[in-house]
Amino acid sequence: MAKLIEFPSQRAQGLAFLDQQIRELLRARGADEELIDFAAATVKRVYERSIEAEDYSFQVSLPEGISGDDAEALRQSIFAGVERIRDENHAVVVRLIAELVMAEVRMFQASRDSDPDHSTPNS
C-alpha cells in the first residue's frame, strides 16, 4: 500500500491553526497588530522547535526465527504505542507553548508600556 502524503502536512495545519487562534484571541482582547504579529512569530518559532522533539527514531532487534506475521504484528503494536505517546506529548507541548507565548506576549507588552516613546492605543 502506498504511503499517503497530506497537503498541507499535519504540522503545517497545526501551525496554521495555532497562528489563527492566537491572532483571533488577541484581536478579541483589543491587541494591536504589532503585538499580534509578535505573538504569532513567537508561536511559530516555539512550535517549529517543538516539532523536532516529536520525531522518534529507534530500532528493535527481533529474535531469530520470528515469523513474518509475528514481526508485522509486533511492528504495528509498537507503532500504535509510539503514536499514542506522541499524541499525549503533543497535547502537553501545545499547552506549554500557549503558556510560554502568553508569558512572552506579556513581557513584550510590559516593555512597550514602560517605554515612554512607544504609544500603544489598545494596551
The reported pTM is: 0.64
Contacts of 78-83 with C-beta under 8 Å, sequence gap 24+, read 82/56
Phi and psi angles of residue 115, each rounded to the nearest 5 degrees, phi first = -90, 110
Residue with more model confidence, 89 or 122: 89
Phi and psi angles of residue 88, each rounded to the nearest 5 degrees, phi first = -65, -45
71 neighbors 62 (Cβ within 8 angstroms): yes
pLDDT (tens digit per residue) in 1-51: 566 655 667 777 878 888 898 899 899 999 999 999 999 999 888 888 887
